[in-house]
Structure 1
Amino acid sequence: MTDTRPTAAAQAAAVAGTESYPRIVAALIRVTGDWALAEDCAQEALAAGLERWPHDGVPANPGGWLMTVARNRALDVLRRASVERRKLRDLAVLALTDGPDDGPGEGEDLVDDRLRLVFTCCHPALRLADRVALTLRTVLGVPTADVARALLVTEATMTRRLTRARTRIRTAGIPYRVPSGPALPERLPGVLAVLYLLFTLGHDADGEPAFADEAIRLTRLVARLMPEQPEVAALLALLLLHHSRRDARRDADGTLLTLDRQDRSRWDAAAIAEAREILAGLPDGPYAWQARIAACHATAPSTAGTDWAAVAAGYDALLRLHPSPVVALNRAVAHGHAYGPTAGLRLLAAARGDGELDGNAHAVAAEAHLTARYGDAPRAAQLFRRAAELAHGPAERRALLDRAAELVP
């Protein structure tokens, strides 16, 4: 009989690492104030699990085992470094509250730790790209090489950027806490923007799908820890609605499919239902409006059967609440479906008037789409080819060129 223990142990370590890594890092950062030490100890604990579990067996509580190993490693390092007694005393308290059989759990302290970690990684003193990278690496435990690949830089460059970000947190005295009072609503949109960008890194045509899953998981965490913040729940609903189409976005050959060509029976009905339940009764807000618009698409029997007037009205409201070139672009497309391509092209021209959408592949593709609906196939094909030249990834480029070929074979 084949011995499957190493495989089972590796799988257990992977699952435990995904679930426990951010908790362990957050707890150790709170106690030691040392980001590098916390991450190193968490990684060493995972490595120890991979080494020992195939032979000793997977412990009853893998997360608790990993926490214990990481904490003990931190104690060893701090003792050797002769760090002040207070930190050692705090780690000893952590040992009493999180024994090897108890695990990190969902106690208030550790729940707060993880939320503090999210807000610290997303602090506005850091550049947006660094916030995203730090969140991927520290909160989600994504390997540095994968973070670098997602953000289109070398691993060495990403290592330096992460080091600078951690140094910035330390030298600038960025507090390891969730803001309160008026500071919370000021900081929360930045956190949500990072979560949405993380999701986009996985949802884009050539993105890493696991990042979308992790973004949803992290947004669920923040929504659970901050139930009084409706825009967090709205963002979760929006991500679920977008992600519900993941299995239908490509055909058997891997070609990217537009919304009107997707097999809607392959959409995730449970995710759509959960999102609609979350949305019920939520107040107006940027993410709430985006989620309502997405729900119009998710619940329609077809693209032709979509309530485009409701979608257009949603974008009207969103543009008033959160004006941006991207919202104006999507609004133009929605009005083109609801009230005819001429109306859509007119709004698109207005949206592009300030030049912010120049060279934007999605803006050119939107013009191509509306031009095709207007009936000018040669011009639309030309625009689709131009959009393909501007596209960032091969899947999106291929889909745009296919559209052009359909119009002018």
Structure 2
Amino acid sequence: MKLANRVQALTPSTTLAITSKAKALKAEGHDVIGLGAGEPDFNTPKYILDAAIQAMDEGKTKYTPAGGLVELKEAIVNKFKRDNGLDYNQNQIIVTTGAKHALYTLFQVLLNKGDEVIVPIPYWVSYPEQVKLSEGEPIFVKAKEEYNFKLTPEQLEEAITPNTKAVILNSPSNPTGVLYNKNELQALGEVAVKHNLWIVSDEIYEKLIYGDEQHVSVASVSSEIKDRTIIINGVSKSHSMTGWRIGYAAGNEEVIKAMSNLVSHATSNPTSISQYAAIAAYNHSEEEIHHMKKAFEERLNKLYNWIVEIPNITCVKPDGAFYLFPNVKEVVKASPFNTTDEWVAQLLEEEKVAIVPGSGFGSDDNVRLSYATSLEQLEEAAKRIKRFVEKYS
């Protein structure tokens, strides 16, 4: 049997492979510490659960408009105004089955065969695969570690060709956790506007920022940049609602309409109950979000210190999200293992610590550690990693 070329070209998810192996070892009775998770370890806040129960009790269990409930779109419009200083109308919003679905649908309506999308390295694993599924071509540009993994305007300018259609920005970033400031976003945005590119701005981690840093949406920098920007966001990370699958896109009305037409034939609509839960998420105070954010910040500061104390490991300290992306090049070089992937696999085998190799994010010298677990587990994981490094140094 011959499968479609589009799926044969896909690269399997590294994160899912590591998670699967860790679960298998755990099922065998091993004491596995999983640092591969891409989701908060907190339950969805109770007021959101209550809103979902109420919606079910009231019979709100039927089809909704393909692009999302009017009430949820209005809540998202208000969120943009309140949090980002951005004005959108409901025709510029589409609600989707998770932010990943928003990205997938966007690339499907934007790209024709051979269109190029600039993807900064390190990247979230699904960006290049979704571009390829849309018959586009991901153009990788390595954001250097010495520049905190941030794409520069010069790099963007150099990568642009007549076939370039869009550039992806992710701030705060998965996997690095780094955050672009307003000046950096303006410089990149001006290059995109100059070359008539779409800016795909993934802002899913905007609520998880630590210290004195502030999130800035690239669309808020200028009206010209806003006109070229499609924002991708959702409630998965901000409100610990990963399983509810509610994301959205905001931007150019013609693009959003095309996305709505496409999803009407693909998913019909996002789950009705999840949409009512998301309305509650955005129409409620953010007190419980701040509680989760405070816990993540404490974990970040402690885990970062534990990791950088390990000889030959360096790490850019993140501004947000819930990942560390340390450089283990020297550690791997001193070991008997040929690649970071082999080093990570042996770490899981010997010390039962599951982390994700950077190869899945386009960066072979790094690994991703999620701190979406308890401080006790993080401290124990750091001890095991240190022991493993010292054994093979």
TM-score (norm 1): 0.27
Structure 1 or 2: more strand by fraction = 2
TM-score (norm 2): 0.28
Structure 1 or 2: more helix by fraction = 1
Answer 1 or 2: higher relative contact order, Cα 8 Å, separation at least 6. 2
